[in-house]
Amino acid sequence: MRVVACPQCGTQLPWDGNRYRPFCSERCRLVDLGAWLDEKYTIPGPLDDESADTGDVAPIPGRDRRSGPEDG
């Protein structure tokens, strides 16, 4: 059985058969809805900025790196 945590109160609840999912109850659903309307809610997600400044990882142009020493 798939179990999810209520994003509002964190209560563990089964996903299937829950009419208020992903919330545990109508109360939590309404509270969350009110937060959305107030625009106080931020969407948790991966930071995927298109205009991100690269610097940490840079793609190496050329051939694929081989594993192990290569004596030329």
Q: What's the closest the beta carbon of residue 13 comes to Zn ion, in angstroms?
A: 8
Q: What's the closest the beta carbon of residue 62 comes to Zn ion, in angstroms?
A: 53
Cβ pair 23, 8 in contact under 8 A: yes
Q: What's the closest the beta carbon of residue 22 comes to Zn ion, in angstroms?
A: 9
Of 9 and 66, the one with the shorter C-beta distance to Zn ion is: 9
Chain residues binding Zn ion by CB under 5 A are 6, 8-9, 11, 24, 28
What number of other Cβ atoms are within 10 A of residue 8's Cβ?
19
